Amino acid sequence: MHLVTNQPGLSAQPYRTALDELRMERAFSRIADSDLRHGNAVRLLRNSKENYPAWLDAIGSAQAVIHFENFIIADDATGRLFAEALMERARAGVKVRVLYDWLGSSFRALPAFWRRLREAGVEARVFNPPRLTDPFWIRRNHRKLITVDGRIGFVSGLCISDSWEGGKEAEPWRDTGISVEGPMVADLDAAFAESWVLAGMRAIPKSDLPRADAIPHAGAVAARLISGEPGMFRTYRVDQFIAATAQRNLWLTDAYFVATTSYVQALGEAARDGVDVRLLVPGSSDVPALQPIVRAGYRSLIEAGIRVFEWNGSMLHAKTAVVDGRWARVGSTNLNLASWATNWELDVIVEDADFAGQMEAMYLEDLANATEIVPGSYSRRRRARNMRSRRSPRFKRGGVRRLAAGALALSSSIGKAMGSRSLTATETSSIAIIGCALLALAVAITVFPVVIIAPIVIGLIWFGLALLIRSLHLKRRVRLRRRKLAIRRRLSKIKDEAASAGE
């Protein structure tokens, strides 16, 4: 069968390729529920040393509106630095709206911290505090977003805390963010406006929310925003789609990797199809109880052909992906069910070869400070022999794109040069910890059954009361509507009678 193009000088193959690209774009838009924005300038920002100064510079330059949304805003040196910058702008007449999550921030910043902000003119609002009428308070706003004057925006995995800065005794956390200029800033502001309303505030005036078509192009980068919401699974669908369509490489970095079985299967199928699938996770976590669970899942990943690496530095908090030297994802979504299904999250998909090249180069730098988990023993002598059998590629001048083109070949040599740890040794300690935890739980249930049963009973009572209260609210609404309708009918009747009498 021959493909007819109906266009002179256009061969069948380029036409078919263009058609496939169009179909891919339409599929991506449907899955992400987001349009691709062209004409942006996107800058990769690594760690707090690059992110925080860029954020503070943008805040300091604000003339009209600042939207600031973050999961953690702590009352420490870093938090107070940002608080001063926001208060200074509010006193200068800039509209400053700050949205912080109750679970993430309330225990890190006491009410006096927020009161100080509000007294300076900052509109600070807490997101989803516990309420008797809402037992679903566990759903968190995990987004990290800043926009300034509808001109520049930032999306990242970084929160506002000294943990990301480090100190004398602690290294700074490893994390990744981006700055965005161009039409996509309108999407960032729209995402903030939705969160603002969900937090119980009045809708933000349209004059404070720019239109995408009114923002001039700032570059040539295409990108789309993925707004994760509870129950929507947008980012999960995107992650599945990317795993299914990756052709060359899929390199992931995640802070709290506890993926679903179907996602692990998708990664494994990609690896079996020849895709270079890699996962970089923390070697030590700020949530110690999670680490044995993450490590217990290594075997299924490695047996499926996925290379697993553990970061050797302090906490690795980044949530990124880079695919085929074409797509890259940066944002707040972790590869676990809480992020995919129950949280409000925010990620940016960048479709640009140069940016993807920068992400690949950064990934290889991170792997140089990581340990690969390998099946069985892997001696230094064997690694050295593999190194000698490979020749590192030589790069010609030409910038990031050519560096990215050779990254895949170079990465194998780097991977063998790094230290490695046996999967069996890693599993042994993880399984032992999980086993001890289960035994301890069994003992606790036996000796103190009330301690285990009480939270369940409290939860059932909470759900029951919440449903009853919601039912009463609904009945009141129905009664109010009926009263309003009756009043309207009476007024209409009185008008009709007055009109008849006048005639």
224 contact partners, CB below 8 Å, separation of at least 6: 28, 29, 32, 34, 35, 36, 37, 184, 187, 348, 349, 351
Give residue 18's pLDDT: 60
The pLDDT tens digits of the residues spanning 52-74 come to 999 999 999 999 999 999 999 99
CA–CA distances in Å: residue 373 to residues 248, 269, 276: 22, 20, 16
Is 20 designated active site?
A: no
- Average pLDDT of span 317-328: 97
Does 499 have pLDDT greater than 80?
no
Q: Comparing C-alpha atoms, which of 336, 340, 267, 330 is closest to residue 304?
A: 267
Residue bearing tokens 């990620």: 347
Q: How many residues can be counted in the chain?
A: 503
* Active-site hit among 67, 75, 101, 142: 142
Does 400 have pLDDT greater than 70?
no
Element (H, E) at 67: strand 65-70
CA–CA distances in Å: residue 71 to residues 29, 332, 339: 27, 10, 13
190 contact partners, CB below 8 Å, separation of at least 6: 209
Element (H, E) at 68: strand 65-70
Q: Where are the beta strands (DSSP E) in 283-441?
A: 307-311, 320-323, 327-331, 345-351, 370-374, 420-422
Asked if 96 and 121 touch (Cβ cutoff 8 Å), the reply is: yes
Give residue 365's pLDDT: 97
Q: What's the rounded Cα separation, in Å, for the pair 415 and 417? A: 6
Lowest mean pLDDT among 39-48, 384-393, 441-450: 384-393
Does 291 have pLDDT greater than 50?
yes
Q: What is the DSSP letter of 415?
A: H
Asked if 66 and 86 touch (Cβ cutoff 8 Å), the reply is: yes
CB atoms within 10 A of CB 363: 24
CB atoms within 10 A of CB 104: 20
Q: What's the rounded Cα separation, in Å, for the pair 434 and 289? A: 9
Q: What six digits make up the tokens of 223?
A: 């990108």
Asked if 135 and 465 touch (Cβ cutoff 8 Å), the reply is: no
CA–CA distances in Å: residue 444 to residues 344, 398, 430: 34, 63, 21
Q: What's the rounded Cα separation, in Å, for the pair 70 and 125? A: 11
* Active-site hit among 317, 347, 366, 416: 317
Element (H, E) at 138: none
Chain mean pLDDT for the chain = 85
Element (H, E) at 339: none
- Average pLDDT of span 109-133: 93
Instruction: Find the farthest-apart pair of alpha carbons in the chain and give their distance in angstroms, rounded.
Output: 108
CA–CA distances in Å: residue 435 to residues 286, 293, 438, 439, 440: 21, 11, 5, 6, 9
The pLDDT tens digits of the residues spanning 424-441 come to 777 677 778 778 877 887
Element (H, E) at 491: helix 449-502
* Active-site hit among 149, 187, 347, 352: 149
Q: Report the first-to-last Cα separation within the chain, whole angstroms.
A: 80
Which residues make beta-bridge pairs with 126? 100
* Active-site hit among 134, 162, 208, 324: 324
Give residue 264's pLDDT: 95
- The residue type found at 195 is S
Does 235 have pLDDT greater than 90?
yes
Prediction pTM value: 0.80
* Active-site hit among 319, 347, 366, 416: 319
Is 317 designated active site?
A: yes
Asked if 58 and 201 touch (Cβ cutoff 8 Å), the reply is: no
- Average pLDDT of span 122-151: 88
CA–CA distances in Å: residue 45 to residues 31, 157, 316, 318, 460: 27, 11, 15, 11, 45
Does 406 have pLDDT greater than 60?
no
Is 217 designated active site?
A: no
Is 142 designated active site?
A: yes
